[in-house]
Amino acid sequence: MNLRVSHWLVPTLALCAACAASQPQPPKEEAVAEALIRQRLQDWAKALSAKDIQGAMSLYAPDIVSFDINPPLRYTGADTKRQAWLKAFAAFPGGLSYEVRDLNVATQGDLAFVHSLNHVSGTLANGHSTDIWVRWTACLRRVEGVWLVVHDHVSVPADLEHGRAVTNLTP
């Protein structure tokens, strides 16, 4: 097996390890950081539901690496992520609803790790109604006082026996 480690993998793993293993921040700093991140994610979800590309993109670092639910396997850079969101917005001409639920936030200094179950619903251009829950995990970095997603991963469970995504699960 040929294993290739890209330039972002080691820092991302180090980030997640640092958040999990490091000493906790003083309670006040940790609470403030968590509140800021929760507000950023609430604003992001509202922007997605409004199909507000500027608001949606304000969450992402310029060098975002994203493992999104749609191909390709990896999006690199904010412009690529922007194009993916624009394509998603166009797929829902009648509106899109995006909800972040069961959000967990861990912070350490200028790094944070979050995960949640996110609900996406709406009617596609072909008339098909979509109502799906996805798993979302992200690593954020505080840059000049602003929390930005540097890596995220969106997924659904898989039925390996039948080779299909399982999209009818709910929390």
Q: What is the CATH number of the domain that holds 36?
A: 3.10.450.50
CA distance 33 to 19: 13
SS3 166: coil
CA distance 74 to 62: 15
pLDDT at 24: 55
> Does 171 fall in a domain?
no
What pTM was computed for the model?
0.83
> Does 87 fall in a domain?
yes
> Does 56 fall in a domain?
yes
pLDDT at 23: 54
Q: What is the pLDDT along the chain (171 residues), one digit of tens a residue?
A: 444 444 544 455 444 555 545 555 567 989 999 999 999 999 999 999 999 999 999 999 999 999 999 999 999 999 999 999 999 999 999 889 999 999 999 999 999 999 999 999 999 999 999 999 999 999 999 999 999 999 999 999 999 999 999 999 999
CA distance 63 to 8: 10
Residue with tokens 């350490």: 108
Q: What is the DSSP letter of 25?
A: P
Pairing of strands 75-76, 129-143: unpaired
Question: Domain range holding 59?
Answer: 9-165
What does residue 11 show for φ and ψ, rounded to 5 degrees? -60, -35
Q: Under a CB-based contact definition with an 8 Å cutoff, are residues 98 and 48 in contact?
A: yes
Q: How many CA atoms lie within 13 A of 10 on its CB side?
A: 4
> Does 2 fall in a domain?
no
> Does 170 fall in a domain?
no
Considering its fold, how many domains does the chain have in total? 1
pLDDT at 116: 98
> Does 71 fall in a domain?
yes
